[in-house]
Chains A and B, each alone.
Chain A
Amino acid sequence: MKNRQSKLWIWFPIFSLILLMSMSLSVTLGAANISWQLVWQIIFSKIPGLNLFNQASWSASTETIVWDIRLPRVLLGAVVGAALALAGAIYQGVLRNPLADPFILGVSSGASFGAALVFVFGWQVFWLGQFTLPAVAFLFGFLSLLIVYFLSRVNNKVRLETIILAGVVVQSFVGACLSLVLALSNEQLQTIVFWMMGSLALTDWSYNQIIFPIILSISVISTFFIKELNMLGLGEEAAHHSGVSVQRTRFILLILASIITGAAVSVSGAIGFVGLVVPHIIRLMFGADYRVVLPLSIIGGAIFLVGADAFARTILAPREIPLGVVTAFLGAPFFGYLLRRAKRGYF
């Protein structure tokens, strides 16, 4: 107990520091050469009432690049990465399945389908404006989850095997719908495919303003369920006998995880591998205790995606590689290495 807790006290600040460093490093990367000191000066100059630096020491275009182009993107990367890793950690714990990732219950297929419809039909709900795409994607993702949940509900009980199977069923059905839309679309095909592979391009502060509060509040709420997540690890019956309302806890956690998945996917597309791999990496490094796994997965996911995005936009600059490709490229070998090195089962 005590040593577990102290593990978190040591590693949480270290992870946070690494995240901060990788974020500021990532802002410096790009066509325009900007030092990290300058990045921080611009950030601090934006804080009202704080006038530490002489405003004139950088040009207006530099400020635009840092503040309006790179920073929102890096921040969104961190938020989306945190969301996906948290969702993955929760799904793996609740479904007691090491292969579970944020997309296992069809949320991402639903969201992709919704996004494809928006692209093809050029829907624009006028009061949603530029948010039509994320809003529709979120809605479709959530609808898929509800279908999965009600399909797997038999006699007022949801069994684990059934819910995973129902997820597979809905995923393939929605996947077929998506393929149909893709086949019938003409010039939008490339846009849709690129969206599905995940990207943080074309983000500005408005996306952050919407998704950040959602993901922050759900991260905080989910930490209240750490005890329950650990107890589910000892077996569902054991958890019940110790006083956990298994059905209710599972429902709440799945909804929470699906909301953040939906939110993340709706702004950045279906970025794979983060949600599967990051929680596993944390487990391999620090053990399976959710008191450590949950907070470190959140920060770890943010670090991972910020790094992957920096890679995606610099390695073949000025071309961008789809983010989902990079996460798989980086994540899979590292995961494989850790898996080989691990001496015992850890899940």
Chain B
Amino acid sequence: MLDLQNVSKTVDEKPIVNQVSFSVQKGKSIGLIGPNGAGKSTIVKLISGLEKPTNGLIQLMGKDVQQWSVKKLAQHTAVLTQEGLSPYPITVFDAVLMGRYPHLGFFQREGKKDFDLVEHVLETTGLTAFKDQMLDTLSGGERQRVAIAKAMVQQPQMLLLDEPTTFLDIGHQKNILNLVKDWQRRDGLTVLMVLHDLNLAAQFCDELILMNKGKVVDIGSSEQIIAKETLEQVYHANPEIIRHPKSNIPQILL
């Protein structure tokens, strides 16, 4: 689905991303973890076309992302960032409807099919009650849910998440990540998410990519990555590792 080959990004002669290669299989959910400044967010920006790589090749479904127009790219990938959507005074329905934009021609207007899809997605994300509310009257967590709904309406094959839960309380964190998980299972969505919270990453991702100083340190299951020595090396902290009592997934305690 997604393939990065020796991707580098240099800003002012300083390498932000250095010779990164990895690939993501269709339907998988991959977590990108690592300390601040590891280059995780830059990877997302490079894939979503916000920035251009200095070197290397990024392929999505076998095609060079650089060759795609912004609109074409948006037909296949949706992005959820930590800022999400600005508190702009339009209704939740209208904001979600904007997700249809890449599928419409320049002169084309949204039709019944688009409205039905929006209604359906609002239902799935539990936003139907908020439909006519203005975006600027919602809380950060609710707005992030609107952003997810907008991404769903976009009907991408790939979802990129850049720390989507940073500003959210634990309830909303879990809610957002569960929505993504259900979506992944339902539609065979491919997910690449940058997460700061290692416990959430271990729980919600099939595989983890650990980055440090612009380079990939290790790729593997949470069993492999969430290990005392690895984390000590990269994070310069020595966390305790325990098992989640229900799922048996490794979790850290500081």
Please report A residues at the B interface, Cβ cutoff 8 Å. 1, 3-4, 224, 227, 230-231, 233-235, 237-238, 240-246, 287-289, 344-347
- Chain A residues, CB < 8 A from B132: 3
Asked if A289 meets B83 with Cβ closer than 8 Å, knowing A242-B74, A243-B101, A243-B102, the reply is no
Does B101 contact A227, Cβ atoms closer than 8 Å? Answer: yes
* B93 pairs with A238, CB closer than 8 A: no
Q: Are B89 and A245 in contact (CB under 8 A)?
A: no
Query: Can you list, as one digit per residue, whether each of B93-137 has a CB less than 8 Å from chain A (1) or not (0)?
Result: 111011101100011000000010000000000000000101111
Q: Please tell me if the beta carbons of A289 and B94 are within 8 angstroms of each other in the complex.
A: yes
B101 interface neighbour in A231, A345, A347, Cβ under 8 Å: A231
> B78 near A230 (CB under 8 angstroms)?
no
- Bound-state Cα–Cα, A3 to B137, Å: 18
Q: Is the CB of B101 within 8 A of A244?
A: yes
Check A288 against B90 for contact (C-beta < 8 Å).
Answer: yes
B 63-96 binary contact with A (CB < 8 Å = 1; else 0): 0000001111111011101011111111101110
Let me know if B83 and A235 touch, CB within 8 A.
yes
Contacts of B73 in A (CB 8 A): 243
**Contact, CB under 8 Å: A4 / B91:** yes
Interface SS, A side: loop
CB closest chain-A residue, reference B146 = A234
Indicate which residue in A230, A233, A241, A346 contacts B74 across the interface (CB closer than 8 Å). Answer: A241
Is B251 an interface position by the 8 A CB rule? no
| Interface residues on chain B, number (Cβ under 8 Å) | 42
Within the complex, what minimum Cβ distance (angstroms) separates B119 from chain A? 10
Q: Which chain B residues have a beta carbon within 8 Å of chain A's beta carbons?
A: 48-50, 69-75, 77-79, 81, 83-91, 93-95, 97-99, 101-102, 106-107, 115, 132, 134-137, 147, 150, 154
Q: Is the CB of B94 within 8 A of A1?
A: yes
Q: Contact check: which of B72, B77, B79, B94 meets A230 at CB < 8 Å?
A: B94
* B83-A242 in contact (CB<8A): no
Q: In the complex, what's the smallest C-beta–C-beta distance from A234 to chain B, in angstroms?
A: 5
**CB<8 Å pairs between A and B, sample of 30:** A1-B94, A224-B106, A231-B101, A233-B86, A233-B88, A234-B85, A234-B88, A235-B85, A237-B50, A237-B79, A237-B81, A241-B48, A241-B74, A241-B77, A241-B81, A242-B78, A242-B150, A243-B70, A243-B74, A243-B102, A244-B70, A245-B69, A246-B70, A287-B89, A287-B90, A287-B134, A289-B94, A344-B136, A344-B137, A347-B89
Cα distance A289–B93 in the bound complex, in angstroms: 12
Known A237-B81, A241-B77; further 20 A-B contacts with Cβ < 8 A: A1-B115, A224-B106, A227-B98, A227-B101, A230-B98, A231-B98, A233-B90, A234-B86, A234-B98, A235-B83, A237-B83, A242-B74, A242-B102, A243-B73, A244-B71, A245-B71, A288-B90, A344-B137, A345-B87, A345-B136
Chain A residues, Cβ within 8 Å of B136? 344-345
A243, A287, A289: most-surrounded residue (chain B CB, <10 A) = A243
Distance to closest chain A CB from B19 (angstroms):
23
In the assembled complex, which residues on chain A have CB atoms less than 8 Å from the CB atom of B150?
242
* A224 cross-chain contacts in B, Cβ below 8 A: 106-107
Question: What 5 A-B pairs are tightest by C-beta distance, nearest first?
Answer: A243-B74, A243-B102, A241-B79, A243-B71, A233-B88
Find the B residue at minimum CB distance from A344: B136
Chain A: CB-nearest residue to B81 = A237
Set A1, A238, A344, A347: member contacting B85, Cβ < 8 A: A238
Residue in contact with B97 in the complex, picked from A1, A235, A244, A344, CB distance below 8 Å? A1
Other-chain residue from A230, A238, A240, A288 in contact with B70 (beta carbon distance below 8 A): A240
CB neighbours of B50 from chain A (8 A): 237, 240
- Tell me the bound Cα distance from A227 to B95 in angstroms: 11
**Which chain B residues lie closer than 8 Å to A242 at the CB level?**
74, 78, 98-99, 101-102, 150, 154
Residues of chain A lying within 8 A (CB to CB) of residue B94? 1, 4, 230, 289
Complex contact B90–A245 (CB within 8 A): no
Cα A199 to Cα B84 in complex, Å, equals 46
- Chain B positions within 8 Å of A244 at CB level: 70-71, 101
Closest to B106 in A: A224
